[in-house]
Amino acid sequence: MLSEFRTIVDVGRVEATIDVDSRVMLMGSCFTDNIGSKFVENRLHALVNPFGDIYNPVSAARLLNRVINRNLCTNRELVQHEGLWHHFDFHGQFSNPEKETVCGRINETIEQVSRFLKSADFLLLTFGTSFVYERSDTSQIVANCHKFPSAFFSRYRLEPEEIISLYKELIVSLRVFNPNLKIIFTVSPVRHWKDGAHQNQVSKAALFLAIDKLCEVFEKVWYFPAYEILMDDLRDYRFYDEKMFNPSHAAIEYIWRRFVDALFTVRAQNYLKRIEKVKRARNHRFFHPDPVLQSRFAQKTLQLIDEIESQFPEIVLSSDREYFDKLV
């Protein structure tokens, strides 16, 4: 059998499952966007990287603490550079020429995330690197350098013990904030090649050691081996994009399937099969448009939408319904 020529990674046992009505928040590096997009395109209840890509554990923890404590942005926290106001804890998507706009966007997002996290079932945290940039003037680790001169920062690698200590406090705070929250850690399989091959591995190793200890100490905290799946199971350059560092579409699809198999209920997996037909219908393009054929196709899909919403009342497919209503 072909499987004899592969090393299938055991994803381990996760004593919790994601159902159709589960609320999942995903936060972390750009790999979070890859997995998070799968939740979104399948119309599941997910909030994906609301603060933008966050690569290091310290910045992720600081943002989560802000959410828990509803620590809103004030103008005095902002810095100006190249005509824009920035916040070092937040992604450049919040930057703006107007101070009030920056804090307004940040505070709206903090409030949104606070409401979602309060009733979330799962928090999926993806760490990208243990290297951090620290401001020279305040000794504060930043989430984004916002193109400030490199002399403005010092760069170093976090030790596993630093991450463990920080997240022990954070997880306790999260449990007080939302006692039902379950946490899944993963390490981004994207290599930070600018660190060099060895330093990238050392950086990832610090993350692995910290996560392993946190999973040992806390209940309802697990690890999903996305990194190992790409490195050991998909051990071929065809599973990388043209830059040769990021996972390809095929790799992301495979990791997603492994994630679903490990963490989704049978009911949720059945839902994914049903919604796949709606997704394909949305992407269908007629080579020779015919109003009659389009109408029949739309009516058939609307019937499918009715069936899905009846079988899975937690799911609302109003956007899909509106799309096909216009084709009838």
274-315 confidence digits (pLDDT tens): 999 999 999 988 776 788 888 999 999 999 999 999 999 999
Percentage of the chain with pLDDT > 70?
98
Q: What CA–CA distance (Å, rounded) separates 228 from 209?
A: 14
3-class SS at 98? coil
176 belongs to a structural domain:
yes
Query: What is the residue whose two structure tokens read 């799946």?
Result: 229
Are 256 and 270 part of one and the same domain?
Answer: no
135 belongs to a structural domain:
yes
**Which residue range is the domain that position 319 belongs to?**
266-328
Are 109 and 256 part of one and the same domain?
Answer: yes
Dihedral angle computed from the Cα positions of residues 281, 287, 291 and 293, in that order, rounded to the nearest 10 degrees: -60
Q: Which residues contact 194 (CB under 8 A, 6 or more apart)?
A: none
Q: Of 169, 127, 121, nearest to 14 (Cα)?
A: 121
Are 109 and 164 part of one and the same domain?
Answer: yes
Are 249 and 273 part of one and the same domain?
Answer: no
178-221 confidence digits (pLDDT tens): 999 999 999 999 888 888 989 999 999 999 999 999 999 999 99
Question: 264, 293, 311 — which closes off a domain?
Answer: 264
5 belongs to a structural domain:
no
224 and 185 in contact (C-beta within 8 Å)?
yes
Question: What pLDDT is recorded for position 3?
Answer: 53
The amino acid occupying position 205 is A
Are 156 and 298 part of one and the same domain?
Answer: no
3-state helix, strand, coil in the chain (%, to 5): 55, 15, 35
pLDDT band at 111 (very low <50, low <70, confident <90, very high): very high
Are 26 and 102 part of one and the same domain?
Answer: yes
56 and 143 in contact (C-beta within 8 Å)?
yes
Tokens representing residue 119 in the block: 């009733």
Are 230 and 270 part of one and the same domain?
Answer: no
Q: Fill in the DSSP letter of residue 21.
A: T
Number of domains in the chain: 2
166 belongs to a structural domain:
yes
Question: What pLDDT is recorded for position 328?
Answer: 86
Instruction: Transcribe 253-278 into DSSP letters.
Output: HHHHHHHHHHHB-HHHHHHHHHHHHH
Question: 211, 235, 264 — which closes off a domain?
Answer: 264
Write the Ramachandran bin of 82: left for phi over 0, alpha for psi from -120 to 50, otherwise beta: left
Question: What pLDDT is recorded for position 1?
Answer: 44
Are 164 and 151 part of one and the same domain?
Answer: yes
Q: What CA–CA distance (Å, rounded) separates 45 from 20?
A: 8
Are 182 and 313 part of one and the same domain?
Answer: no
256-275 confidence digits (pLDDT tens): 999 999 999 999 999 999 99
132-144 confidence digits (pLDDT tens): 999 999 999 999 9
Q: What CA–CA distance (Å, rounded) separates 38 from 147?
A: 31
Measured CA to CA in angstroms, residue 17 lies from 162, 222, 259, 277 at distances of 30, 12, 11, 24
Cα angle 246, 249, 250; round to 5: 110
Are 146 and 69 part of one and the same domain?
Answer: yes
2 belongs to a structural domain:
no
Q: Which residues contact 85 (CB under 8 A, 6 or more apart)?
A: 78, 79, 95, 96, 97, 98, 99, 102
Q: Of 88, 100, 91, 85, nearest to 51 (Cα)?
A: 91
Are 210 and 290 part of one and the same domain?
Answer: no
Q: Which helix (H) or strand (E) holds 222?
A: strand 221-223
4 belongs to a structural domain:
no
Q: What CA–CA distance (Å, rounded) separates 302 from 308?
A: 10
Q: Of 175, 131, 127, nearest to 153 (Cα)?
A: 131
Give the mean pLDDT of the chain: 94
1 belongs to a structural domain:
no
Question: 221, 236, 264 — which closes off a domain?
Answer: 264
Are 254 and 328 part of one and the same domain?
Answer: no
- Full-model pTM: 0.93
6 belongs to a structural domain:
no
CATH number for the domain spanning 70: value is 3.40.50.1110
